[in-house]
Structure 1
Amino acid sequence: MQMSGLPIALALSGEAPSRALLERFAGVGLVRGEYVFRGILRYPTEETAGAELERYLSSVCAATEASVAYRTLEVTQAEANVLEGVEHEDDEDGDDLLGLRGVRRHMAFPASLDAELRAVRRVRERHPNLEVVAPFVTSADEYVWFRERVRSVVGPDVVVGTMVETPAAAVDVADLVDAGCRRFVVGSNDLTSLLAARRRGPALREGSVPGLARLLAHVTAAVHAVDGTVDLAGYLTPTLVETAVAAGVDRGVVHYSDLARLGLVDPAALPDLGHLAAVKARTRDAIAARRSRISRHPV
């Protein structure tokens, strides 16, 4: 499948696509692990990773021979607070784009990451097409720490890529290349918001963001120089796809929930079309309920 000449891979957030649907795409470019856990409102532990994550990844990997890229837990502090079993709660709201996110959270609390990775290892014993992607990276040091942790738990031959969601990661992409990374997924949602200094939303998605085209071209040139690959994930629009094609991006990664909106797949062929919205609503309700309890009973 293509959009304006750009090959398209699928992004999953807990949906269960059929083999027939997966065959239409250039692999599974991103599995967003946090939605597996947000769907049950429980934090990654040995129990939840084994019962939920392993089952889900096994079903996705078994349905395709193409690569499947799993991104480990990526949540804001507010989202983490409402997950049963979270190791640290913080009532400072702050900005959802900032704070203890991505690899920084993994480095602070590695036990939950290890639980995810042990589930990944068990799945890879049966499905070697499974890869791992580091979330919300800001430096090569963070990527190297993550990669070594993944390989120590999962195995030395697993492909470990990285998200490029922060301006720091995009500008210093050469450092990530020098550190040995060859698989890059540019996360357009957070990156465009940080570049434009605006909150995420439809208005931001539909417009052109100053500097994005130049930054994408910069990332692609550095990665292609070492025969690496660059995907562009997020809420893709025709404008964003045109920018990606001009920059030389290898694949676009489209959310399952956006397939019908973009006219790529008939809604009748997408039984899980409302899954992501339902999980997000469940999280919002849980956050609102927690804040209400705290306001009534302050410490």
Structure 2
Amino acid sequence: MTVTAPDKTEQRVVLHGACVSHGAAEGRVLCVYGRKRQYFFQRIENSEVDSEILRFERAVSSAAKQLTSLVSQPPQNSVPNASEIFDAHLLILTSPTFTDGVIEVIRHQLVNAEWAVKLACDEQVRRQKNAASPELRERYLDIIDVAERVLSHLGGEDSPNLQIDKDSVLVAEELRPSTLLELGDNLPRAILTELGGWTSHTFIMARELGIPAIAGIKGLMRSARPDDPVAVDADRGLAVLNGTVDDDLTSSSLPGTTTKPTGGTAAAACVVSVNLDETSKFNEAFELGATGIGLLRSEYLFRHAQGWPSEELQVEMYSQAIAAAGGRPVRIRTFDFGIDRVSFGGMVSERNPALGLRGVRLGLAREPRLRAQFRALLQASVNGPVQIVIPMVSGTDDLTRTRAILDDEYARSEAAFSDIEPPRFGTMVEVPSAILQIDDLIRHADLACLGTNDLVQYTLAVDRDNGLVADWYNSLHPAVVRSIALVVESANSAGKELVVCGEIGGSPFYIPLLLSLGVRHLSVSISSLAAVNETLASVDISDVHDIKQRVLGLETAAAIEAELRRIYLERWPWLVASAA
């Protein structure tokens, strides 16, 4: 990383790009230049090939141990998917595409391991950048991150952490996800880059952290000077160097945008909640218009405990969360991670934890842990209404067994605490078997939460963090859209509450489609609240009814997206501009 001295020339510069994380901020430019390690070249003899390959394999092993350790740590910066990103890096590191590629270069080109890593990385990055899908193209930074991690282990040194001030706005050609992760709690005011897009891991994290971000700013690095004051309005894709975002710079003056109307009936017809993994942001979420906590990920307790959280700690933390909601509904999801994330003594990591002993499966396999969590939630419920949501449900057996345990603990708790009310019992809907059995699940639950991120992943059999198959991860795939329609229809017919969670619900582009399918409750990240509420205020329910009929019969994601764009250009052109 290099930071140069500021130039005293103060010229007001207006920059335009694409919003990749909503919000606004002011601060000072911190230019982040190529924080890359230096790869050195050295010829080796045939007799040295095996020892050089062994050196590389040891570096991979060390890097894998480091990543495995990072995966098992509590989420950094309150980023719920930080460990998933390290998971993705671990997958790249141990994939034959990477390791065999490096070994082949060492063996056939007779070069040192460092240079072989560079050549293999360059080839993978080249293929990634030439992919047809923007989602796939944007993941090349993960490959670079992995290669440089291996290089550090080959050289036996650690990367210097980026140091930032509290008012820093990071400005870079591109920003790797590890850069954000290494900052800890010292986060920037905003992020501006020349490259990257909505599905980049960096900007997925930025949205979770509530950091405003704009990508695709042409000439950014030529225009920005270190320590320049900068104002960022990410919602409009606007950044102003050496000035402010003036009132005369309305959205109508920006390329490809149109002023949004207000007073749409969708705002009154819909409920918007927030997804959180920490109680410290409750007040901020309510000030931004959240009506309740749509999903509180209980894994946040592991940040406050050494090992597995005790029942007493759980009671204390849940009570604080429910009380902080001030009578608003709080849906708490039971622990959702795999056996690989926690130590049970003697248990080994699974080869495929995403399809293994995780979520409700882990709870049922370790019933005393599940019972303790239920008891803690029941005791905490005296502070306000609580709803318990069970993750990774694949069928009615998961749900009925879990509910029987909850009912048993409720009966015992009621005897000890007379003021405990029976909690509402909910199921996550995120795997294909749950979709196909949705009518049965709905009968056994009081409510359902549709987890769209995992729904896409499991329906399409695509690891959303694996750049090698990201081209197949598409939220508009007909199977995904039809699955959502099935779940909504089932819940609405049964008169059961359905909450849609995940990236789809937090993206304005998808909102008219979801409304047309019958969705009336969205739960989104805190950084998406303003944009979602603004979109709902600009849409009339009467204008969405025909969308469902026009898209459900289409056979490809591209066809669905094209049809949505045609509809939006006629009715809500700003939605097309925001998704461009």
Shift of 1:18: 4.2
**2:495 alignment partner in structure 1:** 227
- The answer to whether the 8 Å contact 1:182/1:223 transfers is no
Aligned equivalents of 1:207, 1:232: Cα separation in 2: 13
> Which deviates the most, 166-175 or 206-215?
206-215
Larger radius of gyration: 2
Aligned equivalents of 2:475, 2:425: Cα separation in 1: 32
Structure 1, unaligned runs of 5 or more: 266-299
CA spacing shift, 1:25–1:80, aligned 2, 3 Å: same
SS in 2 for 1:138: coil
CA spacing shift, 1:237–1:116, aligned 2, 3 Å: same
- The answer to whether the 8 Å contact 2:277/2:296 transfers is yes
C-alpha offsets along residues 181-200 of structure 1, whole Å, 9 cap, x if unaligned? Answer: 23000011111011122111
Question: In the comparison of the two structures, how many residue pairs are matched?
Answer: 252
**2:232 alignment partner in structure 1:** none
**2:349 alignment partner in structure 1:** 91
**Matching residue within 43, 50, 62 for 2:312:** 50
Shift of 1:205: 7.2
CA spacing shift, 1:211–1:90, aligned 2, 3 Å: same
- The AA in structure 1 aligned to 2:490 is A
Does residue 105 (structure 1) correspond to residue 362 (structure 2)? The answer is: yes
SS in 1 for 2:353: coil
- The answer to whether the 8 Å contact 1:132/1:161 transfers is yes
**2:483 alignment partner in structure 1:** 215
- Aligned CA RMSD, in angstroms, stands at 2.9
Please, what TM-score do these two structures have when normalized by structure 2?
0.40
Does residue 148 (structure 1) correspond to residue 404 (structure 2)? The answer is: yes
Structure 2, unaligned runs of 5 or more: 1-263, 412-420, 535-580
CA spacing shift, 1:195–1:227, aligned 2, 3 Å: same
SS in 2 for 1:168: helix
Matches within 5 A, 1:60-71: 60-63=321-324, 64-71=326-333
Q: Which has the higher contact order (CA 8 A, sep 6+)?
A: 1
CA spacing shift, 1:66–1:138, aligned 2, 3 Å: same
Aligned equivalents of 1:263, 1:133: Cα separation in 2: 24
**1:295 alignment partner in structure 2:** none
SS in 2 for 1:31: strand
Aligned equivalents of 2:531, 2:427: Cα separation in 1: 26
- The answer to whether the 8 Å contact 1:182/1:226 transfers is no
- The AA in structure 1 aligned to 2:302 is F
**1:79 alignment partner in structure 2:** 341
**Matching residue within 247, 252, 255 for 2:522:** 252
CA spacing shift, 1:26–1:209, aligned 2, 3 Å: farther
**1:271 alignment partner in structure 2:** none
Matches within 5 A, 1:136-175: 136-155=392-411, 157-175=422-440
C-alpha offsets along residues 200-230 of structure 1, whole Å, 9 cap, x if unaligned? Answer: 1496777523311111111111111121011
**1:125 alignment partner in structure 2:** 382
Aligned equivalents of 2:294, 2:388: Cα separation in 1: 11
Shift of 1:149: 1.0
**2:295 alignment partner in structure 1:** 30
> Which deviates the most, 133-142 or 208-217?
208-217
- The answer to whether the 8 Å contact 1:137/1:164 transfers is yes
C-alpha offsets along residues 12-33 of structure 1, whole Å, 9 cap, x if unaligned? Answer: 1124234463262121111111
Aligned equivalents of 2:515, 2:306: Cα separation in 1: 38
- The AA in structure 2 aligned to 1:142 is D
Aligned equivalents of 1:65, 1:187: Cα separation in 2: 25
CA spacing shift, 1:139–1:206, aligned 2, 3 Å: closer
CA spacing shift, 1:13–1:238, aligned 2, 3 Å: same
Shift of 1:137: 0.1
Aligned equivalents of 2:433, 2:290: Cα separation in 1: 31
**Matching residue within 456, 462, 467 for 1:192:** 456
Aligned equivalents of 1:158, 1:263: Cα separation in 2: 29
